[in-house]
Structure 1
Amino acid sequence: MMKTKASLLTLALLASASCSTPQPGPNVPAFQPIPFAKWTQDDAAYRFYPGDKLSISFQHAPELDREVTIAPDGRISLPLMDPVVVADLSAYELQQILESVYGRELVDPSLTVTPTEFASQQIFVGGEVGNPGVYPLPGQIDSLQAILMAGGWLDTSKPEQVIIMRRGRNGQVMTRVVDVKNGLKDPRKFDVGPLKRFDVIFVSRSRIANENQFIQQYILNALPLDFSFFYDLNDRRF
């Protein structure tokens, strides 16, 4: 009888434990931090993107010269070689790759890669603005002008804390919080130079306590497909 009661008590305790919700340990982080690069104003080399056109000229084999358009999958096709991914490469990086490949067939594979036409230049303006979305980049504009293009900031916004996200040198992602509102009086408060292709400008609703966490919770999920590809933070280069 005693053994039966003990067994029933044990089963009751096990059932109670299985129904309870486990609590995370004290050392479990709320999110995994992203290693963003330090913001710099250096002009990085232009990186190719689908839709761009480029000219490839061989110094000693002009019959192989081609003008090609980068396909939606980021590849180009050239004679004597399989299709090669060129999206996100600079002209110099692509030149080095092509000379290495053609070096197997040519005595002197020296060649020149020249961008001839660029696909649409776009930026993304999101968050607490009148009309969030993707906008063409009309020349050299700053973050304030971009926000005005998107209908200006809303009454619910914090224009003193606007996040700018950009792909910089070596493909690393850089971020910076700027004060666009007070930048009207002091341009140094939001001086990140002219915006560049695929820059993200995000106007927050409230004070940003943790820039890294804010980006993961609000910005990355709001990006359109093209921008999500451009800011793929699972890419090992970042």
Structure 2
Amino acid sequence: MKSLKILAAASLAACLVAGCSSAPVNDEFRLPVQDAMGGAPNNPQHHQMQPRDVIDAMFKFDTLSNTIYKLAAHDKIRIRFLSAPEYDDNYQIRPDGYISMPFVGDVKVAGMTVDGLRKHLESLYEPVLKKPEFHVNVLEYQVHLKELQTSLFHPNLGNSRLLTVRDDNVVSFPLIGEIAVNGKTLQDVREAANQKYAAIDPGLQIDLMLQSSEANRIFVLGEVQNPGAFPINGPVSLMQAVALSGGANVKAELGSVVAMHREGNEVVAKVFDLKNALRGKDSAFTAQVGNNDVIYVPATRLGKSADVMRQLSEALMFRGVGYTFTYRTDDKGEE
């Protein structure tokens, strides 16, 4: 589902339906789209996530670096006391970044270079030992990253995972848990995931590719027998769209059916009179709708702009469709 956030402030709402009168049948009304998204994008990274999208997540482990290595949690080091060799010992850096040393207790070492740790130890032990000198050797480095690489390895997929967007627009990632993807592109999701993975280990990153996406669909909402999403192979007539939902119910006001679709950075809403269309007297008889279009059948004839926005907003949110309306009846925020 394409998540489109529509701004409907007073001036725009007034364009949608004039004053308190009924919405003019067959008129088109255009609303600007915030965070605009289209249908299937040329660049998959700009694809806006929708339920049942399948993502190929590929983990990357950066074990090489041109910069001076900094100690990290789980690394194993050997510290030699050159002036007191009886205290030489091996240490594994704890998850909190500390090691426990004789006389001085806990020492924070994660984030330090080897030379930086050596100088820090000399400063710490100056009150304890006479002319303290140290040698620091890294026995095992990036231990945590290597453990992660082992734990994430799949016998069939290697360092990849296939992740599916749930119906609540959430993806569950290994190690970092759930990320809400509603309104986000594939690129947005990758950046959000990499921020979380970098917090676990700077050398752990993920790349995402769109494996598959749901087929084209339309949404028929409001006073119909079975409101919801319906797959289509191509454009269908407005009449066919309503028929896919089982047809209108007894509460339906067929004189004010709204069809919405996206054009560039705008959502275009058009009101049709299906009563006349059934008699062959209205353009709704030949009107077509396509992928991710929304058809709304109200219970009463559309009147005030705020009523239109409220009805559409409630219907869309209730059905879990990605459109969200922000509406108001005053002119606050207008320039």
Normalising TM by the smaller chain, what interval?
0.5 to 0.7
Q: Which of 212, 216, 220 is the equivalent residue of 1:124?
A: 220
Q: What residue number does 1:144 align with?
A: 239
Contact 1:47 1:89 in 2 (8 A): yes
Contact 1:157 1:205 in 2 (8 A): yes
SS at match of 2:243: helix
CA pair 123-72 structure 1, distance change in 2 beyond 3 A: closer
Q: Using structure 1 for the length normalisation, give the TM-score.
A: 0.56
In 1, the alpha carbon distance for the partners of 2:221 and 2:61 equals 47
Question: RCO (CA 8 Å, sep 6+): is it higher in 1 or 2?
Answer: 2
Q: Using structure 2 for the length normalisation, give the TM-score.
A: 0.42
Counterpart residue identity of residue 290, structure 2: P
Q: Which of 254, 270, 292 is the equivalent residue of 1:177?
A: 270
In 2, the alpha carbon distance for the partners of 1:150 and 1:117 equals 23
In 2, the alpha carbon distance for the partners of 1:211 and 1:166 equals 19
Cα drift, residue 176 of structure 1: 0.7
Contact 2:228 2:319 in 1 (8 A): no
Q: How many residues align?
A: 192
Q: What residue number does 1:43 align with?
A: 38
Q: Larger radius of gyration, structure 1 or 2?
A: 2
CA pair 72-94 structure 1, distance change in 2 beyond 3 A: same
Q: What residue number does 1:91 align with?
A: 186
SS at match of 1:100: helix
Q: What residue number does 1:133 align with?
A: 227
Q: What residue number does 1:164 align with?
A: 259
SS at match of 1:77: strand
When the two chains are superposed, the root-mean-square deviation of aligned CA atoms in Å is: 4.5
In 1, the alpha carbon distance for the partners of 2:167 and 2:244 equals 28
CA pair 73-39 structure 1, distance change in 2 beyond 3 A: closer
Name structure 2 gaps, 5 residues minimum. Answer: 1-8, 14-29, 42-46, 63-148, 154-158, 327-335
In 2, the alpha carbon distance for the partners of 1:35 and 1:153 equals 29
- Percent identity among equivalent residues? 16
Counterpart residue identity of residue 85, structure 1: A
Cα drift, residue 52 of structure 1: 3.4
Counterpart residue identity of residue 38, structure 2: D
Tell me if 1:67 matches 2:62. Answer: no
In 2, the alpha carbon distance for the partners of 1:115 and 1:231 equals 24
Contact 2:218 2:230 in 1 (8 A): yes
Counterpart residue identity of residue 177, structure 1: K
